[in-house]
A and B are shown apart, each in its own frame.
Chain A
Amino acid sequence: MKIGKQALSVLFADRASLGFLALLAGVALVVPVLNVAVPESSPLHLSSYVVGLIGKYLCYAILATAVDLIWGFCGILSLGHAVFFALGGYAMGMYLMRQIGTRGVYGHPVLPDFMVFLNWTELPWFWYGFDRFWFALAMVALMPAALAFVFGWLAFRARVTGVYFSIMTQALSYALLLAFFRNDMGFGGNNGFTDFKDLLGFDLQSDSTRSALLVATAATLAASYGACRMIVASRAGRVIRSIRDAENRTRFLGYRVESYKLWLFVFSAVLAGVAGALYVPQVGIINPSEFEPINSIEVVIWVSVGGRGTLYGAAAGAILVNYLKTYFTGALPELWLYALGAIFIGVTIFLPRGLAGLVRAASRVK
């Protein structure tokens, strides 16, 4: 109870956090109403497409928050967070595939379509349990956590830091990309999972389910933000920033730096996994392209555009850059990558603290 109070006081003491959470609550309240309750003829009506987009952006915002926690506060530049995102997504996808049941193209009661297509006769052992929602949810957290734990334990214990760590995370992304492409892996190969029908019995195509998913995503983003804010405001948070700024000093004060990095990395990976799990039912597909090394790099761009080490900046950066991406890939698709590069260079040169830094500077002038 004491901890809960402390966490709340941390959130309410800080105006930026309060503003961010209020905005999030506003989105979670208004968007579903505009979509479900306002008639389609009204100019205020939000199409289901837009609801899905906002939901997707919010998933990315969770992912960006996770990356900001380790990069902005602990100086660990992970260029592999899309891996944890995708693992969470795959765990959710496995549940959604098992929910399809006999409604698949081949109508097999147990095996997903792609397994029937590959002439498999029984379900691989690692698909057991995914017909239960609680089990899938547990895996959404456990799979990224396990990978992050093993990878982080090896890397941090060997004192791999800086750009070497980043390169290793890129290699990890690429390795998993190739692995998930293989049909033998049992995860649908190139095509991944799609054609989902329902989640907990609710039709994924219906507007109300989509709105509910959006609200759930906004709530998860708020909870993730609160948890991250609580961590960075604690003494552990100060140790983490100390590790970022003077790792050896921290170590000689008696802190086991590796263990701090490891737990933070694992927590961040779990957040990324949860984001992926919320993402999959909203976009309706998960395939190996989610593991693309470039995806992880894009996350880092979102965070630096929004402002490293602020959490809300990272979330805002994710939403803004992805909105631009949606716009550009619709209007001027061939220009998007140039625009992204230009944004990144521009922010690095002119706004080293990102948009959050700009907002802070502006509020100080006033």
Chain B
Amino acid sequence: MTPLLPGTREGLVTRSEWREMREAAARRKPSVLLGKVLYLDKLTVSFDRFKALDALTLHVDPGELLCIIGPNGAGKTTMMDVITGKTRPDKGSVWFGQDLNLLALTEPEIAQAGIGRKFQKPTVFEFLNVFENLELALADDKSFWHTLVARLTPVQRERIDEVLHMIGLEAERTAMAGVLSHGQKQWLEIGMLLMQEPELLLMDEPVAGMTPLETERTGELLLSLAGKHSLIVVEHDMGFVRSIAKRVTVLHEGRVLAEGDMDSVQNDPQVVEVYLGA
């Protein structure tokens, strides 16, 4: 039996291919000049008999803000798990840019290659202050031996200040992340993603639990990020999706049910039936 290398369980990559891909990931960010930032091809993930993803095919264009909606169990979180390396699919492939096979990489390698992920529940480091949270997210050498002696350069400090400004937490700079409000934690987490200077941002319910004002500000923030970064936003809040979305993809039972702008999706009879209700 060939050793099980990261990759699909079916079409395993050879050891040398695998090594090349990992080196490519470490060396540079993917080239996205031509084609798509992210391309999911016929992804299938099953847990026991249940198919969380069923030959899901999906792509993200450079600089695009793609919204994904769908009822519970539609496979939204599983899809993010596959993209970020947490779950390995049974079949299919995931390409980041032209030439980066994400299935060959580990979670930290995927993060380093330029994919940032915000969790559904805001996850920040509560015992560190806001500045330190951003410092840890900084795009830098992340090996143990480097961080042991690393000190911030003036450029890096500037970058942290810049992100602090973007997420509107300048005043909370030295506050412990644990004492921030729910909305502020969400922003801090988004700020942490930005520190990684990612090509692609995955946002799992970025406005869950936010006040209307916070939701509005988050929408503005996300819109300002599109163009510079590509974004996938998974969200339940229809009003929010309507306010930011250009292209919406509806997932249902692990498949794409409909795709298009918000109006056409909302008027699609199939979508109305499974998700939006009457």
Contacts and interface: CB of A to CB of B under 8 A. Distances in A.
A279 B125 CA distance: 39
A234 B136 CA distance: 11
A248 interface: yes
A117 to B, nearest CB: 47
Given A241-B125, A245-B126, A251-B108, A256 B149 contact: no
Given A238-B125, A241-B127, 10 more contacts: A6-B151, A249-B119, A252-B107, A252-B108, A253-B136, A253-B137, A254-B111, A254-B196, A256-B144, A260-B144
Contacts of A251: 107-108, 111
Interface in B115-145: 116-117, 119, 123-128, 132, 135-137, 142-144
Interface string A234-259: 11101101100110111111111101
A248 B107 CA distance: 9
Contacts of B4: none
Contacts of B137: 253
Given A245-B125, A245-B126, A252 B147 contact: no
B186 interface: no
B150 interface: yes
9 contacts: A3-B149, A236-B148, A238-B128, A238-B136, A239-B144, A242-B125, A253-B137, A254-B108, A254-B112
A256 B111 contact: no
A175 to B, nearest CB: 28
B158 to A, nearest CB: 17
A253 B111 contact: yes
A256 B125 contact: no
A328 B136 CA distance: 47
7 closest A-B pairs by beta carbon, nearest first, are: A254-B111, A236-B147, A235-B147, A249-B123, A236-B148, A254-B112, A242-B125
B192 interface: yes
A230 B264 CA distance: 59
A172 interface: no
Interface in B184-199: 192, 196
A265 B149 CA distance: 19
A336 interface: no
A167 B121 CA distance: 30
Nearest to A254: B111
B161 to A, nearest CB: 18
Interface residues of B, number: 31
Size range of the interface on A?
20 to 34
Nearest to A264: B144
A239 B136 contact: yes
Contacts of B230: none
B138 to A, nearest CB: 9
Contacts of A250: 136
B84 interface: yes
A249 B124 contact: yes
A256 B124 contact: no
B144 A236 contact: yes
Contacts of A176: none
Contact of B144 (A238, A241, A254, A259): A259
Contacts of B107: 251-252
B135 A235 contact: yes
A256 B143 contact: yes
Interface in B147-205: 147-151, 192, 196
A174 interface: no
Nearest to A243: B125
A294 B14 CA distance: 47
Contacts of B111: 251-254
A347 to B, nearest CB: 21
A239 B149 contact: no
Contacts of A231: 148
A133 interface: no
A263 interface: yes
A254 B142 contact: yes
A40 B130 CA distance: 59
Contacts of A256: 106, 108, 142-144
A255 B108 contact: yes
Contacts of B149: 3, 234
Contacts of B109: 254
Nearest to A263: B144
A251 B108 CA distance: 6
B147 A239 contact: yes
